[in-house]
Amino acid sequence: MAAAPDAPAPAHVHLDAAAGTPLHPAAREVLAAALERGYADPRALHGPGRDARLLLDNAREVVAECLGLSRDEVWFTSPLDAVQRGFLGLAAARRRVGAELVLPAVEHASVRHAARWWADLRGGTVHELPVDRVGRVDVTAFAAAAAPEGVAAAALQLANHEVGTTQPVDGLALPDGVPLFVDASSSLGTLDLPHGRWSAAAGHATSWGGTPGTGLLLVRRGTRWTNPFPGDPEPQDHGGALPDVAGALAAAAALRATLDEREAVDARRRRLVDRIRAVAATLPDTEVVGDPVDRLPHLVTFSCLYLSGEALVRELDRAGFGVASGSACTASTLEPSHVLAALGALTHGNVRISLGREVTDEDVERLTTVLPEVVARLRSEVGL
């Protein structure tokens, strides 16, 4: 039966969870209560300050327990600051050794920019390692690149933010003394921290349904770490600025809830992404990018020959789906995604889909109908 002409359009489905998700329901009440009670400076000695301190300590305790760390290894700060201080704090502690930094070519822009800034400032070099067709770095080549004298620190992401491929962090055996920074900004809450040796890490509360301005700076006990920026040499919440107590509590509550439901939610997201991958693979002249198995459970990227990423994003939005793209025409520069380029993957016609916990089977079924129609329509306009 045809739908009535005045049938309401289906609700818009957010398929760009990697860039932002609705606050986890478990964090909502906590956030409201924390804004009510945790407004004061937790370092102050008065009553409201002590209240805020209690709340912040509680958030730190919860996060540490969720991640299997100790309280003194967890710091709350902005997501970008967590990456910059996490990585460069390791380099700063070894500034007498040198300023050579080693990382794969597919690290997040924030890691690459931080590395280049530090290397330029200290007269060092950034050594970017190639990746294979799915975006994975070779651990033997990585360890070899970190062996020369003068290497201050290395960085390796837990999983790639654009194509989802996990990196073999646990298989990496760096030379003695070279500390490893792990960027877990797109994966914490979904993937466990590495079991092997790492010195500092960064997390972004968006990846587990916390507030978008909250990040985690994790510095292992016994690590040589020095603040690379002005201020106290030791790690501090928010680099010593007024801590965001409410954001920390919301992040802690959301992380605990996310880990509690992770098995079920991520099994479903993995199954739905498998479904989208399968449909994308049947589209003519389309390549699905990234590792099909060892990947983030909720993210899939594919590129359609002859199409513009901008048109795909626009047409899918019109059909009720919000997706991202790594194509140059959707960015503020003419440069295509450095991740897609490093993989040698087609950079135009790119679509990146990431599922939040709220996406349903019905949403994905509708997408699998709409997507081939949109691609066929745009292709017919090109005439190829």
- Residues annotated as part of the active site: 329
Stretch of residues binding other proteins (CB under 8 A), selected from 115-123, 247-255, 331-339, 364-372: 331-339
Footprint of other proteins on residues 278-297 (CB under 8 A)? Answer: 285, 287
CB nearer to other proteins: pick between 88 and 289: 289
Stretch of residues binding other proteins (CB under 8 A), selected from 44-52, 193-201, 206-214, 298-306: 298-306
Stretch of residues binding other proteins (CB under 8 A), selected from 1-9, 90-98, 341-349, 362-370: 341-349
Asked if residue 336 lies in contact with residue 348, where contact means CB atoms within 8 angstroms, the answer is yes
The 363-382 contact track toward other proteins, x by CB under 8 A, reads -------------------x
The yes or no reply on residue 344 touching other proteins (CB under 8 A) is yes
CB nearer to other proteins: pick between 170 and 335: 335
The tokens of 112 are what? 């690459």
Which one of 8, 222, 230, 383 is in contact with other proteins (CB under 8 A)? 383
CB nearer to other proteins: pick between 93 and 289: 289
The yes or no reply on residue 313 touching other proteins (CB under 8 A) is no
SS3 assignment, position 104: strand
The angle, 0 to 180 degrees and rounded to 10, between the axes of the packed helices 109-122 and 79-93 is: 40
Asked if residue 50 lies in contact with residue 145, where contact means CB atoms within 8 angstroms, the answer is no
The tokens of 14 are what? 């957010």
- C-alpha to C-alpha distance for 238 and 62, rounded to whole angstroms: 18
The yes or no reply on residue 105 touching other proteins (CB under 8 A) is no
- C-alpha to C-alpha distance for 166 and 290, rounded to whole angstroms: 9
SS3 assignment, position 99: coil
Mode of pairing for the β-strands spanning 215-219 and 286-289: unpaired
The yes or no reply on residue 163 touching other proteins (CB under 8 A) is no
DSSP assignment of 56-91 equals: HHHHHHHHHHHHT--GGGEEEE-HHHHHHHHHHHHH
- Binding residue count for other proteins, defined by CB under 8 A: 24
The yes or no reply on residue 341 touching other proteins (CB under 8 A) is yes
- Eight-class DSSP state of 331: S
Point out which residues bind other proteins (CB under 8 A).
285, 287, 303, 305-308, 327-329, 334-336, 340-341, 344-349, 382-384
